[in-house]
Structure 1
């Protein structure tokens, strides 16, 4: 039996958050393919989305443009949903230099990379969950090197 998404927070939505939560939930229930939640840094966008996840009880994939923001959101979602599986998937390279040719100096630069084994283990955990029976949601096609996700499953 799967666990429901239970939001762990001492705070309740306030200010514009209740309206944003309601409008996002209505949009999802109406089948809107795209919605935007805008807010300044620290305005509670992540908390707002966590409330939507808890209210609608839907597995969710969160995408971010870089590893720094990905790690921040992963940590916040782990705190919001400590009883649920929150997975993290980013490129496992700490450093990646593709091969290159510099015509002006007739120089060939070999590919060089450094793999982070801890991140690789986290990627494998996320893949395992994706391939399990717990997966009942759609997958977004994304370029390999720009995608990361946090997956919250019961």
Structure 2
């Protein structure tokens, strides 16, 4: 016995599948941009954590990520935006929300260097400063030396 979807549901299923494919592609684009910079840094002795953060942000929207950073270790935070991202910014705050590093370039590949004076929880704010009206995807990776 064959099971056929009614035409209306078939169209809906095809539309949903088409909508989901670009989401993965744009996340992949953001990750690829960040890792392109990371590759150059790796060639210069920077190691990178295995994990990374990613997501979709509205234009002018932001998200904050908590991470542990160690005293006297140089960290390089590298971001990447998908093709819909025009300006992605990273700002790093210590546990007291005092700013300790910031990217100020107008581009989709923010890079921030920080060397904490103590070990603890730090807050990394990723802002989609400019993008298409639908927002854009970002990826964030953390390197250290």
Task: Please report the TM-score for the alignment, with normalisation by the length of structure 2.
Answer: 0.28
More strand per residue? 2
More helix per residue? 1
Task: Please report the TM-score for the alignment, with normalisation by the length of structure 1.
Answer: 0.27
